[in-house]
Amino acid sequence: WKANAEGDDVHLFENEKQIATYHFLRQQGKKRKANRCLADFVAPLTSGKQDYMGSFVCTAGLGIEKQLAVFEKDHDDYNSIMLKVIADRLAEALTEYMHEKIRKEIWGYASDEKLANEDLIAEKYRGIRPAPGYTACPDHTEKEKIFSLLNAEQIGAKLTENMAMFPNATVSGYYFSNPVAKYFSVGKVQDDQIADYAKRKNITTKEVEKWLRSNI
């Protein structure tokens, strides 16, 4: 989507209309380097520059619950674990494949990329794909926007009330193309940011604290 940042938020646009806003958190640690936020990797709305941002949902293991139930009934822990692992690896492989296709073809911001497998594993490509619930964007509830925007239920993926993804072998996240984009950890957030975040998301501070418990 076309996208621009406003503060620590990123607005998404389609057909010249704003369709969604992703809310992010900023590091608040005391250090010499600047405190990072994922919104920093998207051009500010005030810059007048048109930027872009993507999202994805990849899933595997559709319908394996029936076979897992058979393994459980037979007390076959080994094959049960192996089936789950294979599904997880397929989802991760699809995620990696889609990211490469996005970089080189669909979005095409790195169309001349030629990396060896070792370089791909070392993530030497341009851009990042952070996932809600992880260190750079710890709020699991932001998954709801991704799933809604992409109509993820069409591929059999959905969210539980606790924001867990189903099937379990499902990966979702964001695409950033900025060449200086790097992974980082938000870490602990203070009361002022909790209040600001609640205001931006139009929810209570208690709700924010519930989902950001490990960052408080």
Q: What is the mean pLDDT of each run of 10 residues along the chain (216 residues)?
A: 97 96 93 88 95 96 91 93 95 95 95 91 93 97 98 96 95 97 95 97 96 94
3-state SS track over the chain: CEEEEECCEEEEEECCEEEEEEECCECCCCCCCCCCEHHHHCCEHHHCCCEECEEEEEECCCCCHHHHHHHHHCCCHHHHHHHHHHHHHHHHHHHHHHHHHHHHHHCCCCCCCCCCHHHHHCCCCCCECCCCCECCECCHHHHHHHHHHHCHHHHCCEECCCCCEECCCEEEEEEECCCCCCCCCCCCCCHHHHHHHHHHHCCCHHHHHHHCHHHC
Look at residue 19 in the predicted model and tell me its pLDDT: 97
Look at residue 29 in the predicted model and tell me its pLDDT: 79
What predicted TM-score, i.e. pTM, was given to this entire model?
A: 0.90
Look at residue 30 in the predicted model and tell me its pLDDT: 74
Look at residue 34 in the predicted model and tell me its pLDDT: 84
Look at residue 11 in the predicted model and tell me its pLDDT: 98
The count of domains in the chain is 1
CATH number at residue 40: 3.10.196.10
Expressed as residue numbers, the domain containing 38 is 2-215
Look at residue 39 in the predicted model and tell me its pLDDT: 98
